[in-house]
Structure 1
């Protein structure tokens, strides 16, 4: 059986670290990134492990269909690591929801027909909803649980009000939506013998993370309050992801794993 793995956002940061960890565990590794140069460089580094670049904007339905077609031609889908995403300084609230939540649901829906016994997917969420103590009322939860609704963004604005237009707030709500989506998706994949989880990174030392820190000096205080007394490394997150897509995690699905060095525990316990 020829196996296939997919890593989105594979050109840099945590996505690239994840690609390095699972390289060699599958026969063909599709490295998805919207940046053609980054995707090509990552694939060149991991060429001996069967890696190949796949240029794609994860919000593009046609591109996702091409990804599914390429996967089906290559073999049996074994692992999906969906690390592609954007943070608050990178876009407005609508784009943040579209990339971080809606595209997650689009990718899962597109690849679901390829899921089989042993397929494992990991989606990237964030510690942001935990720190913000996001706790939606039933009406908001109902909206968040339908990210593929044609009116989803308008419904989110109606449900959460003008406060959601703040990119930081939008990011926390979108990532909470990812955590919720994973729980629901687990019930769809379970009968197929497949699994899905999410990981919620804390403050990780990546180019994107450093960009956020430059715009939000308060992040330095969070690092100081982190029990492990440092920023995370991309490899810290990749190690957890590698476990979750492995057979060692065969009974783990529908849950979120917080990878934050303990900062959420420190903040939420005072």
Structure 2
């Protein structure tokens, strides 16, 4: 009997946490697809992984591109059985306006999951990157806001979120926090959808992590330095520390871990909550 080739996908894999996740996924699967919109970084990353002995292939893609995601699903199916997905691609508040933040961070997550869902089977595991940002906001948003967040593939999603939140939606920090709250909720629902075929889904919420994107945010927001100081461990996290948790969540050892958020923040949410 021939064993199926297992395939992994890491998005945002050109650098930072996505690249660290790609290295972890490579340990779990036979072939890993490195997905990123930046052709140069993702090609280099795939070459380096291949040089280290992994079967790695770059796949240039913007996660908001439905046609591109269909091609990714096709390529995955050609290679074998979908085993592990680490969806780290995303943008932070200083990188774009509120519409783009929602489109990449929440709508993109839902589009990726929709494209890969038909490939899910017994043993498939997915981790979607959220953030500690919504966990630092006290209380739940208005139920009407949550209802809109729960339907990110609605054609009118951006208009609807604008209508229920109001003008403050233009605050990219708020938009980011809401988009990532949407990812928390999406991962829970995806776990319920995938369970019957023996597949799992979780979200992960990194705290302050030392990445190029994290440094860009810190340069714009002095408040982030305050959060580092309030972190019980007294430092930022490293990409490989987040990737290690993702690697465990995707592993067979975590076979009953499903539908939860994994907070990797050095304890800062605990400190802020008091």
Aligned length: 269
The residue number in structure 2 matching 1:124 is 129
Residues 155-186 of structure 1: CA distance to partner in whole angstroms, max 9, x if unpaired? Answer: 00011111111000000000000000011111
CA distance in 2, matches of 1:44, 1:150: 38
Q: 3-state SS of the aligned residue for 1:90? A: coil
Q: Counterparts of 1:83-232 in structure 2 under 5 Å?
A: 83-133=88-138, 135-232=140-237
Instruction: Could you tell me which runs of 5 or more consecutive residues in structure 1 were left unpaired when the two chains were aligned.
Output: none
Post-superposition offset of 1:134 = 5.1
User: Does 1:30 find its partner at 2:30?
Assistant: no
CA contact (8 A) 1:185 1:254 kept: yes
CA contact (8 A) 1:134 1:173 kept: no
User: Does 1:12 find its partner at 2:1?
Assistant: no
Post-superposition offset of 1:132 = 1.7
Cα distance change on mapping 1:134 and 1:88 into 2, 3 Å: farther
Post-superposition offset of 1:130 = 0.7
Post-superposition offset of 1:22 = 2.1
User: Does 1:43 find its partner at 2:39?
Assistant: no
Post-superposition offset of 1:138 = 1.9
Consecutive aligned runs of 4 or more in structure 1 exceeding 3 Å deviation: none
CA distance in 2, matches of 1:22, 1:193: 19
User: Does 1:251 find its partner at 2:263?
Assistant: no
CA contact (8 A) 1:134 1:172 kept: no
Normalising by structure 2, what TM-score?
A: 0.97
Normalising by structure 1, what TM-score?
A: 0.98
The residue number in structure 2 matching 1:77 is 82
CA distance in 2, matches of 1:184, 1:136: 18
Q: 3-state SS of the aligned residue for 1:24? A: helix
